[in-house]
Every structure is written in structure tokens, then in C-alpha cells.
A and B are shown apart, each in its own frame.
Chain A
Amino acid sequence: MSENVYIIGAGIHPFGRTDARSGREQGVYAVREAMADAGLEWSDIECAYGGSAAAGNADIMVNELGLTSLPFTNVANGCATGGSALASAQMAIASGMYDLALATGFDKHPRGSFNASPADYGLPEWYGQTGMMLTTQFFALKIQRYMQLHGISRTTLGRVAEKAFRNGAKTPHAWRRSEIDLDTIMNAPMINDPLTKFMFCSPAEGGVALILASEKKMKELGAHGVKIAKIAVKTRPPDSFEVFQAGVSVKEGGKPTVLASQAAFEGAGIGPQDIDVAQLQDTESGAEIMHMAENGFCADGDQEKWLAEGVTEIDGKLPVNTDGGCLACGEPIGASGLRQVYENVEQLRGRAGERQVPNDPKTAYSHVYGAPGLSAVAILER
């Protein structure tokens, strides 16, 4: 029987652009915030897991944090780096081997869209040479078909972005902190039809750290933690449709998000109707819409009504992306998934300030998706 695991400390370095700090320094900042939150010293931490996609190895952080000889494992899992670090830290404690663990992620990307090398993904050179290997295109192609099949309008895409900036304006760690009206969003330059400039997140910078503890350790410290009910990480099943696929199976396959979501709900012993607040991967507006259904919160097509009626607003029945998500915070790949968990920890502890959901949340859900087709879901309970 594995042990219950709790998050007893959470820290964040504001997302966006911080020219004066490297990605790793932003990570160190977040770790210090998390330790202060938990009332711990670096020497108390027994093991650590962390990573970045473009800002170096996390284990170098010991130079700044202290040479305590703790085992520090680098995690490199693309967009799921944070989720995988969290899952590893949880397993370290659940196994009974450790009582206090750190999960951290940070990043710092150049401006503009991500560019990928075909060879790194086992793809032929022509795919990149002809300009077909862009993550933004995948999301546009996925939502374009989804809109045709399930009656989602362009206005609904705009409403997702409008909500993100409205929530970001209330969030100290967000990058985009000004509201943007629906007309401006809809009439902004097109990036990949049907998605305009304000419907996409941008690569960014930031750092997040979470401190995990066993139940015994939490009680010993007198800390009030948030319980990790279940974490599930799933890679893609056969015949799925993912980013960077020049060919897709004519058989309709499964989806990694659906698999991770089902496994997380099953492990937590609750269902989508029991969730009080959710952070869903929203690298662009269409992703939030599709992920609402893939994570089991609504049927395909219901999003049109949900967005129009404000169901996913902070004061709605199911608040989604309460800190503005990737759209308002930007996407530092290594930190992004942990930001969602940080936000849920703050919401469950009632410490989210202006953006606090008013329904006295007991359960929170986070979901991250990334190349080459993997999803991580974490359900927290208080």
C-alpha cells in the first residue's frame, strides 16, 4: 500500500520576460518561495526532480541552493516535463523511500514560435523545409475539423481568449495582465486560420516549484497540505492524431488526454462532475475547447453554450484556467505544467486573491498536453 502524498509548499517566479534572470535563476527563485511557503530549509529536502526544455539542466540548481548531496534527477519530457517531475516526486514519497521531495520546472525561450528539427522527431527533412512542421498548424488543423464536426463558432474561440486575459489581469504571476476585448481578439492578424494572434500563447519564461511530503512528515511539521489524489501520465495510443504527424491513420484511434483523464478519475475515485476548478492545456483557444471534452467535462459541441453562458468563468459552475492559462501566462515549457498545479494549490488553499473561485473548492484538476502526443493529469483534494 503506497502512502498518501501532499503538496505542502508552492512557489512561482512570475511568467513572461525577465531579462535579468536566466531560466535556472527563475527556477531557484521559485524553489526558495516554495521552501519559505512550507517553512523549510534546503537542507530539509531529501530528493529533487526537475527540468527545462531550453534553459539547461535542473540539477545545476544545487550550486545556488546548497551542496547538500541530495539526489537530483533531471527530467526531460517536452511539455510534460513538469508533470513528469511531479509524478516522479510523488512516487519517491509514495514508495516510502523519502518524506520530503521537490518538483521543479523552469524555462526561457527565444521570442516567436517554437522551431523543431525534423530529424529530432524521426521525420524527413522535406517536412520542415516546406514549412509544415509547426505546432501552431497542428492546433489549427485539429480545431478546424472539430469546429466543422461539432458546431463550434469562431466567436467561441474568441471568448476563450477574452476570458484568459480577463483572468490574467487578476493574476500576479501572469504575463499578459490587460484585458483584451472580443472584437480586438477576433480582428487581430491571422496566424493559422481560424486562430488569430491573441488566440495563441507565446513561448515565455518562468519557474515553478512544489514541495511534496508524506502524511507523517506533514503532521510532524504541522503543515496544511493539499492531497495529491491521483497523477496519470499517458503517451499516445495507436491511430491517434498528434502534433508533427505527416500521415494520420484512417482508423479513428484513442487520445492520450482521454486515457490520462480516465486513469486519473479512476484513481481518485471521483468523476468530472465532482471537480470544482480546472486548469486545462490552452496553448491556443481551440485546445481549451477540445480539452474540455477530452477530459470528460462536457460533450463535444457543448462548449459553444458553455462559453456563451460563462460556465467556465471564475464564478461559473466549472472555472477553467483561473490564472489565464497559457494564453495569459505564456508557455515556458518546463514550468508550464507545474504552473497549473501551483494555481490549483493556491485555489484549494483559498489564497488566490482576486481570482479566487468563490465555490470553496475541495477538488482541482490540471491537464497538460505536448509533443509527441502525451498528456499528464493531476487531481488534487483538500
Chain B
Amino acid sequence: MAVLAPIDSKLWSDDAEPHLMGGRKPDGQIVFPMPQGDAAQDVEPYKLSRHGKLWSWTSQDFLPKTPYEGRGSGPEEGPPDFVPFLLGYVELPGEVIVETYIAHAKLDDLTLGMDMEFCIVPFNDTHTTFAYRPAGTGA
């Protein structure tokens, strides 16, 4: 099996324990994602915390339209090939609240404020993406 590439090469750091990349504005405010183009001027790349608290969550139960590139979106695929997933917001204390996939969990496991930790997960046949999972559910 081929090695999966990150969905975006600058989205997380290449440390052994990677960090999601945000930005720090001159006034100290932490933002996510790192701004692009002219908006990135004076914004320092900033390694976001690998640990946070669950702020909200939902499920994605139908196949998103383009530009979605996950399962079910290919030319020979359709809604039956789609695999529903969980997503939410995780509050990284003192930094920013990030929108993220939620991995290693079922809907019923999720509660407001629960401890979450950063991880990288397979996304489709070619790419990985980032996620947060309930703390302690890692392999």
C-alpha cells in the first residue's frame, strides 16, 4: 500500500508527535487555519496544542457535493460508497477552537468538555487528514 500524503503539506508539523498549525497575530491572538496570501503578513506560524476539550460535535450522514474528495466522491462512486463521519469543534485552552474530524469515537461516546487529543488519520486512498480523538483511545 502506498504511503498516504497529507491533504495539505502545511496543515500540521512534521514532528514525531505532530501539531496542527495555526498562526499568532502581532497582538498575540492565535488563529486557525494559518492565513494565506497577504493576510499571512505578520502572522507567525504557531504549533497548536495537541490536547483540548470537546466544544461541539455532529455527524455527516450524507455525501457532500464537490469539492469533497472522500469515499463516494469518485467518478465510479456515489452515495452508497460514502462512509458517514463525525466532526466537531475542539477548544484548545488559551489558543483557539478548531473545527476537526473526530476519530476513534461513536456519537454516543461524546460529551461536552471531554478531553480530546490530536491524531492523524487516513482520509481517502491517497491522503491523510487531521483529527482529534477522545483522550486515551489511541493505539
Query: Among the interface residues B8, B60, B123, which one has the most CB atoms of the partner chain A within 10 A?
Result: B60
A129: contacting residue among B36, B68, B95, B101, CB under 8 A? B68
Q: Please give me the residue from chain B that is nearest to A141 by CB atom.
A: B56
Residues from 106 to 150 in A contacting B, C-beta threshold 8 Å: 112-113, 115, 117-118, 122-134, 137, 140-142, 144-145, 148-149
Is A132 a contact partner of B99 (Cβ separation < 8 A)? yes
Residues from 1 to 50 in B contacting A, C-beta threshold 8 Å: 7-8, 11, 22, 29, 31-33, 36, 39
Which residues of A are at the interface with B, using a C-beta cutoff of 8 A? 112-113, 115, 117-118, 122-134, 137, 140-142, 144-145, 148-149, 189-194, 245-250
User: Does B117 touch A at the CB level, under 8 Å?
Assistant: no
A141: contacting residue among B11, B65, B88, CB under 8 A? B88
User: Does B97 touch A at the CB level, under 8 Å?
Assistant: yes
Is B99 a contact partner of A246 (Cβ separation < 8 A)? yes
Is B7 a contact partner of A126 (Cβ separation < 8 A)? yes
A11–B89 alpha-carbon span in the complex (Å): 43
Write 20 A-B pairs (CB below 8 A) sorted by A numbering. A113-B62, A117-B67, A122-B39, A124-B8, A126-B7, A126-B11, A130-B7, A130-B70, A130-B123, A132-B87, A141-B57, A191-B62, A193-B57, A193-B107, A245-B99, A246-B32, A246-B33, A247-B96, A247-B98, A248-B96
Is A144 a contact partner of B99 (Cβ separation < 8 A)? no
Tally of chain B residues near chain A (CB < 8 A): 43
A255–B94 alpha-carbon span in the complex (Å): 21
Query: Among the interface residues B29, B91, B93, which one has the most CB atoms of the partner chain A within 10 A?
Result: B29
Is A130 a contact partner of B93 (Cβ separation < 8 A)? no
A132–B85 alpha-carbon span in the complex (Å): 10
Is A112 a contact partner of B33 (Cβ separation < 8 A)? no
Is B67 a contact partner of A140 (Cβ separation < 8 A)? no
Given contacts A128-B68, A130-B129, A247-B97, could you give 5 more A-B pairs where the C-beta distance is less than 8 Å?
Answer: A113-B65, A115-B65, A141-B89, A246-B98, A248-B97
Q: Please give me the residue from chain A that is nearest to B113 by CB atom.
A: A148
Is A131 a contact partner of B64 (Cβ separation < 8 A)? yes
Is A189 a contact partner of B33 (Cβ separation < 8 A)? no
Q: Report the minimal beta-carbon distance from B40 to chain A, rounded to whole angstroms.
A: 11
Is B96 a contact partner of A144 (Cβ separation < 8 A)? no
Is A247 a contact partner of B32 (Cβ separation < 8 A)? yes
Is B65 a contact partner of A145 (Cβ separation < 8 A)? no
A141-B89, A250-B97 given as contacts; is B32 within 8 A of A129 (CB)? no
Q: Report the minimal beta-carbon distance from A186 to chain B, rounded to whole angstroms.
A: 15
Q: Please give me the residue from chain B that is nearest to A149 by CB atom.
A: B112
Is A141 a contact partner of B58 (Cβ separation < 8 A)? yes
A189–B53 alpha-carbon span in the complex (Å): 29
Is A190 a contact partner of B112 (Cβ separation < 8 A)? no
A134–B61 alpha-carbon span in the complex (Å): 12
Is A247 a contact partner of B22 (Cβ separation < 8 A)? yes
Is A134 a contact partner of B59 (Cβ separation < 8 A)? no
